[in-house]
Amino acid sequence: MYDYVVTADDVGTLLAVDCTPMDDSGRQGDLVREFANNENKITCDQEMQNDINICISRGRADFDVYVLQGYSPEEWEHATLVLRRTGYQINISHKDEVVIDEKYSPNLQTKIPNGRTTQFVLVSSGGVNLPFNTQGITEPNNEDNDVRLRDLIVLVMRTFQNKALDAKRKGKA
């Protein structure tokens, strides 16, 4: 049986599952569609929405993360992901090195793998995949907090990106 885990990717969407019921004799019934959340779009809980609003109103959010450098799964490096109104920056903590500093573009994507994971992937506007991980970052440290941090980062970044792209479109109109 597959357990579906709601993530930042689901915010603003309707979630449903199609299933074919079976009786004890193995006879199939008609296809049934069941919606999550009483057929309402998925929203953030109040605490998460408040955290997002605070970040957006400040115009900047700095998040501790791990970023994968190289191709070995052992090469996670501690970094700071800086999200601003107009763009984002990734700084490797122990080297004082800026890995990337760019403005938001329509090509920028954030992806969350299926399942319960603390990872997400940033696809830069140039098409570079940058895997991130929040495992072990939060205090008190537990997986629920790390997953929540991952979702907060993704939602704040998408909000800043949408606002920046909307402002750019309005400026051209």
> Per residue in 100-132, is it b (16+ CB within 10 Å) or e — as a string?
beeebeeebebebeeeebbbbebebeeeeebbb
User: Which residues, other chains included, contact 25 with Cβ-Cβ below 8 Å and sequence gap of 6+?
Assistant: none
Q: State which fold the 59-172 domain adopts.
A: PH-domain like (2.30.29)
Look at residue 5 and tell me whether its pLDDT is greater than 90: no
Instruction: Report helix, strand or coil for 95.
Output: coil
Confidence of residue 144 (pLDDT cuts 50, 70, 90): confident
pLDDT in tens, 31-80: 999 898 899 999 999 999 999 999 999 999 999 999 997 766 678 999 99
Q: Residues 121-147: what's their mean pLDDT? A: 89
How many percent of the chain have pLDDT more than 70?
95
What was the pLDDT predicted at 148? 94
Which residue ranges make up each domain of the chain?
8-39, 59-172
pLDDT at position 109 over 90: yes
Q: How confident is the model at residue 2 (pLDDT cuts 50, 70, 90)?
A: low
Residues 81 and 99: beta-carbon distance below 8 Å:
no
